[in-house]
Chain A
Amino acid sequence: MKSASILMIVGSALLLGLFIFPLWNIVLEAPQYPDGIGMNIHIDGLQGRDKHDLQNIDGLNHYIGMRKLPKANEMWEFSTFPLVIGGMAALGILIGILGFFKVLNYKWFLAWLILMTVLGILGMYDFNAWMVDYGTNLDPKAIMKMTDADGNPLSYKPPLFGTKDILNFRAHSYPSLGAYLMGLGMFLTFVAFWLGKKKTT
């Protein structure tokens, strides 16, 4: 149970990587942007991949009537996510410590993982909802009003995961280092559960 608890502690501590590394990364490529322009989505706000990328994305988006990218204080998520991640990391570490001293058993590890997974799915859902709103809720006075083959207004929503062509741009949307650390952490907590169960039974 001791090694399982240590894994639980390490696994939940890996969530803290999200305070340093981005969760997600979106890169836009076009012939006029040979190096691409990109943004990193951190749990507490957006950052350009290069110094002025956010400004340049906004500059491009104004043609199609997209709102400007939100500042950290313009979305509740950027103040809530750090609390949730910090709280879950603390909770996981606490569970791990209590497991180490045999106050709690391995089932708590699984409970934490289930809660974390639910929160993660909610987070992704929220993220996707934001992108749908951002990519479709456009200024009616937009300079360019593009429609798809069926005559419906074109959606500029970047993919949640993967690569998609949007007008002259190719958008790549993939998890970033923070998300990989979180994934590894969650996997470790599952191993902790499995190991705890094996050692106990």
Chain B
Amino acid sequence: MKTIKNIFLLTAVAGLILSCGNNNGGKSGAMASSNAEKVYVAPGEHDEYYAFMSGGYSGNVTVYGLPSGRMFKEIPVFSQFPTSGYGYSEETKPMFNTSFGFVPWGDAHHPDISQTNGELDGRWLFINENNTPRIARISLATFETEEIIEIPHSAGNHASSFVTENTEYIVAGTRFAVPNPQRDMPISEMKGEFKGPLTFIAIDDSGHMKIDFQLNMPGFNYDLAHPGRNKSHGWFFFTSYNTEEANTLLEVNASQNDKDYIVAVNWQKLAEFVANGGGKKVPATYAHNVYDEKTHTATSTMMEGVTSIDPREVEGAVYYIPIPKSPHGCDVDPSGEYIIGSGKLSTDLSIYSFTKIQEAIANKDYEGDAYGIPVLNYENTLAGVVTQAGLGPLHTEFDGRGNAYTTFFISSEVVKWKLETWEVVDRQPTYYSVGHLMIPGGNSRTPDAKYLVAMNKITKDRYLPTGPELEHSAQLYDITGDKMELLYDFPTHGEPHYAAGIAASKIKDNVKKYYDLEENNHPYVAKSESETKVVRNGNEVHVYMTMIRSHFSPDNIEGIKVGDKVYFHITNLEQDFDVPHGFSMIGANTSELLIMPGQTKTSIWEPKREGVWPFYCTDFCSALHQEMQGYVRVSAKNSDTELKWSLDDE
């Protein structure tokens, strides 16, 4: 017994020595285990926060829990998603319609949660698409994309999709200045000819988006934006680069000016101007796609014309403010007083005072103008500078306790500094080359600042190697103390540019568990097995099919012919949480369908060969999932096989 005790003691001592020796940060082993506890969410327990991460080039949004870093869902938004049939089902194809036709992919950048009185309200998530300029709205009750609006006259919709503090407007910028209207002209004649329209999209009480007006700005590259909040509510701030208006080798030619601009836009003034009939109606064609939860179907409407405003025609609404060296991030602190501009080629952060901006405007304290737009005096609008904070500042978020946190891409770190004293108080490395950071509510009036997530662009050796292509890495920091503490490191899907975090309590009780079959208004719904049928209309065949554990109805269909276009309209009759069924058909040139309880989805199958062809359920729905299958008999084009359908020979 004594020997055993001694061995125990010895092991414990060795463990202590090892854990101390392993820790080069000077923390004890006990400290490390407390970090593990901070991110540990016990089996069956829920995370404290939702984090909605943009997927970047995946075109979608992924949903994570914090602090655990567990991924819960990928919400398909701008990219086709064969897993569920999004973009493949007849109901969702219209979501991909644009003025360029069907675009199967997108580049999703900046998610933002709707706000009421400057606080996150958890109704909707908005996200922009950079390549084919669009903004999507995702319901935070169903976690499905409900609406996508295309932004005409824009290119590189990067300064987007940020919402004002009562979700009055959402903005879309133009990162790649283009001719407006588009026309055939020599690229080298860009200067003075290209434009960078900033689009203001009004949001109504049901979340629907409508382009209210476009501010037709000079052709600089409008990069990022944030709305004013609290005292600066009513204003919007955008960063711009390439004020050189270079059209080639921008990495050099757009980095020549000592200063570029922040744009300050009084959107309330512009909205009033437009409401009073101001602005000019200009031709525009853009798609507006809306998904209806009751018909489970999207419709795409091609819209015509927008109201365009020349920034010079509304007195006191649009100003430029100089900012050093090709700024990127443009962030506004919770009070609304400070606007932080990050010159990404600089080592400093410029912080502007909203009060001083107002004074400069009142005093007409201009340095000059750019294309007739007044340029406010740099020195006199500046509140302070965080000097030599790091290399390559990008984005800033806030904790509501007087601190700001800025990412530095080149020096790969998050730097904590104090508002008003502008002193750096802490810095922590990131792994590696951090882009955006996110604090839940960190871009609202009331940050919920327990954690900070750094989203990195480079992963390298952080996880087990998976070949040349890697997922990106994210780090979670505890920011409740004086010093930031790295808690956890987890891979993220796609390329998260930005994320929006929110207390789970603001969302989770409103989340829908299934769709009510009674409210299903799909034109091809079958609400019971007795309503199932097969209808031929020329060579189009419509199958009204149902699914319930563990069979399809009908599951035997005859009388289909080679050359037919068969529409399977399939309704999941289940009315219980988490009982989806899937559908796949051999030889179909489209994806499977994953159909939620109470939902109807449609898949097209064009049989090419005679025979008897099976279909089956792709979701392991029940103990008899393997039996959930059926057959379609396909006859020759000119055969006279009678059209019939059955379940259990009835």
Chain A residues in the interface with B (C-beta under 8 A): 51-52, 55-56, 59, 63, 143-144
Contacts and interface: CB of A to CB of B under 8 A. Distances in A.
Contacts of B576: 52, 55-56, 59
B578 to A, nearest CB: 9
Interface in B541-600: 548-549, 574-576
Interface of B: 516, 548-549, 574-576, 623-624
A63 B623 contact: yes
A52 B575 contact: yes
Contacts of A59: 548-549, 574, 576
B624 A51 contact: no
A144 B516 CA distance: 29
Q: Which 7 A-B pairs have the closest CB atoms?
A: A52-B575, A56-B576, A55-B575, A59-B549, A52-B576, A143-B624, A56-B575
A55 B574 CA distance: 8
A169 B574 CA distance: 20
A144 B623 CA distance: 10
Interface centre among B574, B575, B624, by most chain A C-beta atoms within 10 angstroms, is B575
Nearest to A48: B575
A143 B576 CA distance: 21
A53 to B, nearest CB: 9
Interface centre among B548, B549, B574, B576, by most chain A C-beta atoms within 10 angstroms, is B576
Contacts of A55: 575-576
Nearest to B575: A52
A143 to B, nearest CB: 6
Nearest to B516: A51
A47 B624 CA distance: 28
16 contacts: A51-B516, A51-B575, A52-B575, A52-B576, A55-B575, A55-B576, A56-B575, A56-B576, A59-B548, A59-B549, A59-B574, A59-B576, A63-B623, A63-B624, A143-B624, A144-B623
Nearest to A34: B44
Interface centre among A55, A59, A63, by most chain B C-beta atoms within 10 angstroms, is A59
A9 B576 CA distance: 44
A143 B516 CA distance: 28
B513 to A, nearest CB: 10
Contacts of A56: 575-576
Contacts of B623: 63, 144
Nearest to A62: B549
Nearest to A143: B624
A52 B514 CA distance: 11
Contacts of A51: 516, 575
A55 B576 CA distance: 9
Nearest to A35: B577
A59 B550 CA distance: 10
A144 B622 CA distance: 13
